[in-house]
A and B are shown apart, each in its own frame.
Chain A
Amino acid sequence: DSGVTQTPKHLITATGQRVTLRCSPRSGDLSVYWYQQSLDQGLQFLIQYYNGEERAKGNILERFSAQQFPDLHSELNLSSLELGDSALYFCASSVGTLGANVLTFGAGSRLTVL
């Protein structure tokens, strides 16, 4: 157990729907990251939060949004889902934002859009 908790582990939904993925970071970690892993795109950085504030943004679609709450858990909202959104979504956390800080990953949430 890495200490980073992601729910749900698996999710199957239909095109056009909206889903929310939840992440609880490791105890003491203030920074949360979201990544998408798909066969054709590899591991893509989506967004990063530090202590409730957005710190970096990657290739996150406008249909996707995220936030980090005061208790430091984070949610990734995916709306108007398309077949191509099917992927493994990882949350990771780190103590801070320095280059040396190791990211600890959760087990991932596997999203299947039918």
Chain B
Amino acid sequence: AQKITQTQPGMFVQEKEAVTLDCTYDTSDPSYGLFWYKQPSSGEMIFLIYQGSYDQQNATEGRYSLNFQKARKSANLVISASQLGDSAMYFCAMREGGGAQKLVFGQGTRLTINP
């Protein structure tokens, strides 16, 4: 069964610093996708970044990058130059590639950016 682990319940970072949110996963399927979502206090779930298991390069989307270490089964989210608006819950999620498969979420990390 697929499993996602986020070991940091909360993180506090100074504005403009870079921050890394940890995510490890477990799956026996060689084909899978890894996702990060942001949930601000308003409640909506916002897609940030995607990494496929066969992608050779780490995914990047603006200030977000995904540090994908396949052998270690980790998919950490890196936010560069953090901003106050980055304060939110962040969820790592995985979906196995067989089709019609559910997206499984980790427990989340609450990130607080201090001015």
Contact = CB atoms under 8 A, between A and B. Distances in A.
Interface residues of A, number: 25
B91 interface: yes
B100 A99 contact: no
Contact of B47 (A45, A88, A102, A106): A102
B96 A99 contact: yes
Given A33-B103, A102-B35, A88 B43 contact: yes
Interface centre among B32, B35, B102, B105 (most CB of A within 10 A): B102
Contacts of A107: 43-44
Contact of B95 (A50, A88, A99): A99
B32 A42 contact: no
Nearest to B96: A99
Nearest to B51: A100
A99 B101 contact: yes
B89 to A, nearest CB: 10
B104 to A, nearest CB: 7
Contacts of A12: none
A56 B104 CA distance: 12
Contacts of A55: 100
Contacts of B104: 45
Contacts of B95: 99
B115 interface: no
Contacts of B10: none
Interface string A36-74: 000000110100101000011010000000000000000
Interface centre among B99, B103, B107 (most CB of A within 10 A): B103
Contacts of B46: 105
Given A43-B108, A97-B99, 9 more contacts: A33-B102, A42-B108, A56-B101, A56-B102, A102-B50, A105-B37, A105-B46, A106-B44, A108-B44
21 contacts: A42-B108, A48-B102, A50-B100, A55-B100, A58-B102, A88-B43, A92-B103, A98-B97, A99-B31, A99-B32, A99-B52, A99-B95, A100-B33, A100-B50, A102-B35, A102-B47, A103-B35, A104-B47, A105-B45, A105-B46, A106-B44
